[in-house]
Structures are given as C-alpha cells and as structure tokens.
Amino acid sequence: MGRVVVDVMPKPEILDPQGKAVASALARLGFGQFGSVRQGKRFELEVEGEVTGEVLAAAREAGEQVLSNPVIEDVVAVYADEVRAGGTQA
Amino acid sequence: MGRVVVDVMPKPEILDPQGKAVASALARLGFGQFGSVRQGKRFELEVEGEVTGEVLAAAREAGEQVLSNPVIEDVVAVYADEVRAGGTQA
C-alpha cells in the first residue's frame, strides 16, 4: 500500500488569521523566534499498490480540483510518503 | 530567512470524519483510486536567519506543546523548507 501526501497552503497574498493567532500564541508561550506562521492543510491519500508517477499526477489533480480552493489556496507539495505503522516519523 | 514546516496529523487510532468526507468526495469525482484519506495540518514557521538543529528542536517542541493536541494528534514531521517567492513548489 502506498501513501501520497498533498500539502495545501493559503496563497501568500491571502491574509491568514489562523496563522496570525498561532504566531501570537507561540510568542506568549516562549517561542518568540517564530515571527510569522501560516497554517495550511496536509492530506494523506492511500492507494493500493505502489505510488507511480501516474498516481502522483492524479493526486495533484485531486489537490487542485477537490482538496484546495484555487481562489485562496495553492497546492504546494505532492509526494510519496512511507506508511507509518502507528508511530511517528522524524 | 528560514522556514520550518511542522506537520500534525490525527493519531492513527482516532476517527477522522473530515478525511472520510474528503474520501467520499474524491470517489464521486472520479478519484476512486484513493481509498482512504486523512486530513491534518501543516504549519509554516518563519525564523530570522538559518534553520539550525536548535531551531528544529524548538519547532518540534512548539509542535508538541502548542500546534497539536497530544491526546488526538501526532507531530509527524518537522523539517526545514525553502521560502517560496510567491509561487508554488513541486
């Protein structure tokens, strides 16, 4: 089984109030080194079998047509990822 | 200026209704090859200067203490990313 990750972020010119709220919270909690924060979405799509170039192309299309709102968001990354076995990865 | 990406996903054992809704939408719209979808969050944190090991460690700490709810979410990835100049990246 393969997994494809599709990352969607608000366009750079779009205001991101969620990210701004997170940045203020981080500053209050002692993480002042992070001056600016933007928050987006990460989708993990699972496919039967291997992640081929075709699968990646379909995932990008799905990202652009379904997973993101192209008026305010960009699909910033589409890549194959290892399937975690219940743990966390570095 | 450097950028750190922190990826947060619902824990594998936690139900993800958002992901399930996305999976049904994909199937209806001709992307049936993606059987299962999980939706998480992607944070882009900006720092002055380079992304050092120390910055990555602080970003992971921020991810675990502020950006995620450790009861239901895992910080699945923390890594340095190039700053986009208003465009999209592959």
Residues of B in contact with A4 (CB under 8 A): 34
Query: Who among B19, B34, B62 is closest to A31 (CB)?
Result: B62
Q: Which CATH number fits domain A2-81: 3.30.1280.10, 3.40.605.10, 3.40.50.2300, 3.10.310.30?
A: 3.30.1280.10
Residues of A in contact with B34 (CB under 8 A): 4, 45-47, 58-59, 62
Q: Give pLDDT, residue B87.
A: 41
Rounded CA-CA distance A25/B62 in Å is 10
Nearest C-alpha neighbor of B84 from the set A76, A59, A7: A76
Kindly list the distances between the CA atom of residue B80 and the CA atoms of A56, A86, B44, B50, B52, in Å, as whole numbers in the listed order: 23, 24, 9, 9, 9
Q: Give pLDDT, residue A86.
A: 45
Interface pTM, i.e. ipTM:
0.89
Residue A30 in 3-state DSSP? Answer: coil
Q: Give pLDDT, residue B24.
A: 96
Rounded CA-CA distance B71/B25 in Å is 28
Mean pLDDT, chain B cut into blocks of 10 residues (90 residues total):
96 95 96 95 95 96 96 97 55
Let me know: does A73 contact A9? Beta carbons within 8 Å: yes
Q: Give pLDDT, residue B82.
A: 77
Nearest C-alpha neighbor of B62 from the set A35, A10, A76: A35
Q: Give pLDDT, residue A83.
A: 67
Q: Give pLDDT, residue B86.
A: 45
Q: Give pLDDT, residue A89.
A: 42
Instruction: Show me where the domains of chain B are located.
Output: 2-81
Let me know: does A16 contact A64? Beta carbons within 8 Å: no
Residues of chain A scoring pLDDT < 50: 86-90
Q: Give pLDDT, residue B1.
A: 86
Q: Give pLDDT, residue B64.
A: 97
Query: With an 8 Å Cβ cutoff, is A89 touching chain B?
Result: yes
Select the residue from B37, B44, B81 to test the A interface by mutation, using most A Cβ atoms within 10 A. Answer: B44
Q: Give pLDDT, residue A82.
A: 77
Rounded CA-CA distance B89/B74 in Å is 25
